[in-house]
Amino acid sequence: MSPSQGNTRLALLVGVVALLGVAGAVALPERQAAGRAATPVVDYAPSVARMRAEAGHAVFMPRGLRAGWRPIATEVSGGDGAPVQWRLGFLAPSGGYAAVDQSDEPAASYTKRLTSDGVPQGAQRVNGVSWARFYRESKGQRSLVRTAGPVTIVVSGTASYSELAGLATALRPA
């Protein structure tokens, strides 16, 4: 093979690899959007009703979330004398995960468990209310935590602190 043939083949190979890279970059957002659209949305009204019936305290639920938030999981556990917990999970507009957890479990143990032993990162004001910030680096988990009477609320996930604050802002008594 002559040097010019080798250069031609190398140029073709580089061109093919570049074309595949461009095609992948174009297709990836489409696949992500398709996967996001395929994620089923849940109705969390039954969980709100159960939590209100079993909890002896205010239950907080999001109202008026901006577009792009998709509720994908809900679960109520405990009761019958044990602490009651409600988890409501969302796909955030960025594609990250965010959950609102609330319980009447003792605040210190609940916070430690729900933040995955996250490291305190100071405080963040959300709608004039102070929320404690936690971060668990190994999981990329951010958390905002506050106690309102007997209930501790934890807003956490892989979503940004800004998105978590947006979710916390939407929380209202049910």
pLDDT at residue number 81: 87
Q: Which tops the pLDDT comparison, 35 or 97?
A: 97
Q: Look at residue 32 in the predicted model and tell me its pLDDT.
A: 45
Is 45-173 a CATH 3.30.200.100 domain?
yes
Q: DSSP readout, the chain?
A: --HHHHHHHHHHHHHHHHHHHHHHHHHHHHHHHHHHHHSPP---HHHHHHHHHH-SS--EEE-SPPTT-EEEEEEEEEETTEEEEEEEEEE-TTS-EEEEEEE-S-HHHHHHHHTTSPEEEEEEEETTEEEEEEEEGGGTEEEEEEEETTEEEEEEESS-HHHHHHHHHTEEE-
In angstroms, the CA 69 to CA 99 distance is: 11
Whole-model pTM: value is 0.78
Which pLDDT tens digit goes with each residue over 124-163?
999 999 999 999 999 999 999 999 999 999 999 999 999 9
Domain ranges of the chain: 1-38, 45-173
**pLDDT surpasses 90 at 6:** no
> What does the pLDDT average to over 10-15?
49
Each residue's pLDDT tens digit, 33-65? 545 567 899 999 999 999 999 998 999 999 999
